[in-house]
Chains A and B, each alone.
Chain A
Amino acid sequence: MTDLQVFRDETRHWLEEHCPPSMRTPIKTDKDQCWGGRNANYVSDEQKQWMDNMASRGWTAPTWPIEYGGGGLSKAEAKILSEEMNKLKARLPLSSFGIWMIGPALLKFGSEELKLQHLPPIVRGEIRWCQGYSEPNAGSDLAGLQAKAVDMGEHFIANGQKVWTSYGDKADWMFCLLRTDPDAKKQSGISLVLFDMQTPGVTPKPIKLISGSSPFCETFLDDVRVEKNQVVGEINQGWTIAKYLLTHEREMIGGFGLTGAGSQTLGQFAVEALGTEHGRLTDSVLRADVIRWEIDAAAFAVTAERVNDEAKSGQGIGATSAMLKYYGTELNKRRYELMMKLHGNDAMEWEGEASKDGWLPRTWLRTKGNSIEGGTSEVQLNIIAKNILGLG
């Protein structure tokens, strides 16, 4: 047996033993997702147990170095871990902006001190992060941001307003873009800083979404003290780091386009909703739409895999993440439009037991944000046109 086969066997046994039964069932609602943090709301003891079990091996962040609490796995081993988890239909033990966004940025740009302070609590699901990038007047034009931090010698004092801060009211810490040099040109005077959401002067106010829930906030910063050692990388060099972080965010969001292994395919969903006649979906028009979607989804899945394998062999992913983000989110939106159509009038139910309080229409509405959050589809297409195709 090769080392990787040994690793696979060992992993399989360990997962069998340590993944509680209820964590092997599909995620049905938002609540089933485990986000950890100081104010964590676990749906069950098993949910917390599963997170803790995985964290004890660093497998909530499998490829991060062991000295920062990670699993220290190679990319090949991490792929095996995820395959074995899929076989078991194991849920993701921990959803985390720490793991998906600020962690990778800290690993690449952070000081040793910052890595040791922040990475292990992220792996253990103890600290939950939110992202303070967008402002009312700085969305697609992110570099136009105005919230500022004034240098007071030992520390900064920050003032301004952030908006669309996902889970701002639930998070423990924020990674935040602030203007630290008001005189420099747009991109040059920005720093990426970290602060505790409990710092006096930080006020997140929930904003209700069209789906009825309130996962994002506007966050006001009034004379917030930010320590100088909490600047990631160099002062005024935050833009490069911010963009690096965005490529990770985009890959994560683009991944919504993948049907997770173990979950129902759109084809199966369609059969359940409409039934078949002579082995074909009863509605021939919807059948054609479902087929087209499934083919695009299959093509997307192998593309995501290819991009991943290319990255492993050292080829850059920077601009490709724009393509994955664009295509993956548009695909996810199409999937939910089709699911709505497949359920006909029933898909309209907003409250009530039969529909799990409108799980489908609410999720469908939420997917509309996929092509906006993390940089809109239009911004991704601009990046592809400029950076990959060399147009303009």
Chain B
Amino acid sequence: MALVHNQEHQMLKESAQGFLREFGSITELRKYRDSEEDFSPLLWPQMVEMGWAAILIPESHGGLGFGQVGMGQIVEQSGRMLTASPLLSTAILGASIINLAGSEEQKAQLLPAVASGQLTTALAVDESAHHAPNNIGLAAEKTAVGFRLTGSKRSVVDGHRADLLIVAARSSGSLGDSKGVSLFLVESKAAGVSIEKMSTVDGRSVANISFDGVEVATEALLGDEELGFRVLSKTLDIGNAHLAAELLGICSEAFERTLQYLKERQQFGVSIGSFQALQHRAAHWWSEIELAKSLVLKCFQALDADDIKAPILVSISKAKLCEVADLSTNEAIQMHGGVGMTDEYDIGFFIKRARPVQALFGGYSYHSDRFASMTGY
């Protein structure tokens, strides 16, 4: 497939740009960062209205079936505008995992609810500070009517506002085994679930959640018992591809703003962009972003095509984007000089959002290691 965006994707990008500039901009981020909410209550209904919750859901279940490339356009634009929304937790992770693992009945019940904005979800995987999807310790014990869940999850995106938690639990085996992982649908209001909000460096928040003998029925099982890891893994691949796209947006925007600044800012009677020391770094930085762009597109195409190489491409993309994000966000501040350190100037927000995106579901070290392992060394 040609590595270019078609007209449909171009249109999605433009409408996302227009909408987010108005309703999901850094002005919104400033407004909400010190409040209890992370974004305006009007934002998600509007996104749903535009069909964004339905993009990854098949038409047969009330969705648009637009695919990853299309969704990636929107996510990249959210990255540029630093927009907080349930896009990742619900429209990407929730929709994907239900679609991949759900029974016909579950899909028929849940997917239309996601597409129409009636249901929000959060995916609860990690239990320590570092991504380790094999290390699921949260216990799922069989009971007469279903399962009892005991354990805790950390840094769950939207865990404090989602209606439905999708929880990776261990029904057999031990820490480190991929077999024995089962997925459960748990109402966030269920007895025994306690949710603690943690505010994060990007002006948003995540949730640490504990499950204290939470009783769920057999129907709460999502996909095959014990065999949840494969679906979880695939969902995480989709998630990481979109996190890479968000990073691409962050890097591109930080780059363009800095480029503009290099042209405007005068020192020694000339624009600072006339200094070769900065010119070469800007040129290098631009080249890195070009590479990043290609990887992100290739990765989405591979996911849409169900290519067996997709997992490798995902790890390459996430690792590379983590590296480019380190470069981009540091260069952005450095090339702005003193103003780059101020809260008043927007450029500092990019580094603050980039690091949680990088760390979520594995940063550079996790994905470079995974890439090496998958390719045999």
Cβ-based interface call for B333 (8 A): yes
Q: Which of A340, A341, A358, A377 has the most CB of B within 10 A?
A: A341
- Pick the contact of B266: A137, A285, A348 (CB < 8 A): A137
Contact residues in B for A371 (Cβ distance below 8 Å): 334
What's the least CB distance linking B350 to chain A, in Å? Answer: 10
Q: Knowing A139-B338, A345-B154 are in contact, say whether A208-B343 is a contact too (CB < 8 A).
A: yes
- Contact yes or no, A372 B326, CB < 8 A: no
CB-nearest residue of chain B to A358: B201
The reply to whether the CB of A89 lies closer than 8 angstroms to some CB of chain B is no
A-contacting 9-mer, from B2-10, B62-70, B101-109, B353-361: B353-361
- Does B199 lie within 8 Å of A349, measured CB to CB? yes
User: Would you call B199 and A337 a contact (CB within 8 A)?
Assistant: no
Nearest CB on A from B125, distance (A)? 11
Contact with B along A361-392 (1 / 0, CB 8 A): 10001001101110011100110000000000
- Given A139-B267, A140-B267, A368-B333: A207 and B129 interface contact (C-beta under 8 Å): no
B38 close to A (CB within 8 Å): no
* Cα distance A58–B68 in the bound complex, in angstroms: 68
User: Are the CB atoms of A378 and B278 closer together than 8 Å?
Assistant: yes
Residues of B contacting A378 with CB < 8 Å? Answer: 275, 277-278
User: Which residues 343-377 of B have a CB within 8 angstroms of A?
Assistant: 343-344, 348, 351-352, 355-356, 359-360, 363-366, 368-369
Which of B131, B203, B338, B366 makes the CB contact (< 8 A) with A164?
A: B338
Q: Does A245 contact B (CB under 8 A)?
A: no
The smallest C-beta distance from B56 to any residue of chain A, in angstroms, reads 25
Return chain A residues, CB-CB under 8 Å to B348: 210, 365
- A110 and B58 CA atoms in complex are apart in Å by 79
- In the complex, which residues of chain A have a beta carbon less than 8 angstroms from the beta carbon of B223? none
Given A163-B338, A210-B352, A348-B359: A285 touches B200 (CB 8 Å cut-off) = no
B355 touches A347 (CB 8 A): yes
B342 within 8 A of A: yes
A144 at the binding interface (Cβ < 8 Å): yes
| A:308-340 near B, CB below 8 Å | 333, 337, 340
Give per-residue flags for A207-242: 1 if the beta carbon is below 8 A from chain B beta carbons, else 0.
Answer: 111101000000000000000000000000000000
A372 to B275, CA, bound (A): 17
Interface size in chain A (residues, C-beta < 8 A): 47
A350 at the interface (CB under 8 A from B): yes
By beta carbon, the residue of chain A nearest B332 is: A368
Task: List which B318-344 residues lie within 8 A (CB) of chain A.
Answer: 326, 330, 333-334, 337-338, 340-344
Shortest CB distance A298–B (Å) = 23
Chain B 58-93 residues near chain A, CB threshold 8 A: none
Is B202 positioned at the interface, with any CB of A under 8 Å from its CB?
yes
C-alpha spacing A348/B201, complex, angstroms:
5
A21 interface contact, C-beta 8 A: no
Q: Given that A207-B342, A350-B201, A381-B277 are contacting pairs, would A139 and B337 also be in contact in the complex, using a CB cutoff of 8 Å?
A: yes
Shortest beta-carbon distance, A250 to chain B, in Å?
16
Q: Are B359 and A350 neighbours in the complex by a CB distance under 8 Å?
A: no
The answer to whether A345 and B334 touch (CB under 8 A), given A139-B267, A350-B201, A368-B340, is no
Contact A372 to B337, CB < 8 A, known contacts A140-B267, A343-B129, A349-B200: yes
Tell whether, in the assembled complex, residue B355 and residue A348 are in contact, meaning their CB atoms are under 8 Å apart: yes
Min CB gap B240→A, angstroms: 14
The CA of A350 and the CA of B268, in the complex, are separated in Å by 39
Verify B201–A144 contact, CB threshold 8 A.
Answer: no
Minimal beta-carbon separation of A18 from chain B (angstroms): 38
Q: Does A284 contact B (CB under 8 A)?
A: yes
Given known pairs A345-B155, A372-B334, A378-B278, the reply for A210 and B267 (CB within 8 Å) is no
Nearest Cβ on chain B to A336's Cβ, whole angstroms: 11
Q: How far is the CB of B158 from chain A (nearest CB, A)?
A: 14
Q: What's the Cα separation between A207 and B368 when bound, in Å? A: 40
Question: With an 8 A cutoff between CB atoms, is B126 at the interface?
Answer: yes
Question: Once the chains bind, are B278 and A207 in contact (CB under 8 Å)?
Answer: no
B198 in contact (CB, < 8 A)? yes
Whether A134 is near chain B, meaning CB under 8 Å from some CB there, is yes
- Interface presence of B284 (CB below 8 A): no
Q: Chain B residues near A289: list those with CB within 8 A.
A: 365
Query: A371–B360 Cα gap in the complex (Å)?
Result: 28
**Residue contact B266 to A345, C-beta cutoff 8 Å:** no
User: Is the beta-carbon distance between B200 and A350 smaller than 8 angstroms?
Assistant: yes
Known: A140-B267, A210-B352. A344 touches B131 (CB 8 A): yes
Contact at B341–A352, with CB atoms within 8 Å?
no
Task: Determine how close the nearest CB of chain B comes to the CB of A12; give it in whole angstroms.
Answer: 41
B355 touches A349 (CB 8 A): no
From A144, A164, A345, A361, B126 is in contact (CB under 8 Å) with A345
| Residues of chain A with a CB closer than 8 A to B330's CB | 333, 368
A376-B356 contact, Cβ under 8 Å, with A345-B154, A382-B277:
no
Evaluate contact between B351 and A368: CB separation under 8 angstroms.
yes
Say yes or no for B130: interface residue by CB 8 A criterion.
yes
CA distance A377 to B337 in the complex (A): 10
Answer yes or no: A274 CB below 8 A from chain B CBs: yes
Given A284-B369, A372-B341, 8 additional A-B pairs, CB 8 A: A139-B337, A210-B333, A274-B130, A348-B356, A361-B201, A365-B201, A371-B334, A376-B337
A-B contact pairs, 5 of them (CB 8 A): A139-B338, A285-B368, A333-B330, A345-B130, A372-B337
Chain A residues near B (Cβ < 8 Å): 134, 137, 139-141, 144, 163-164, 207-210, 212, 273-274, 283-286, 289, 333, 337, 340-341, 343-352, 358, 361, 365, 368-369, 371-373, 376-378, 381-382
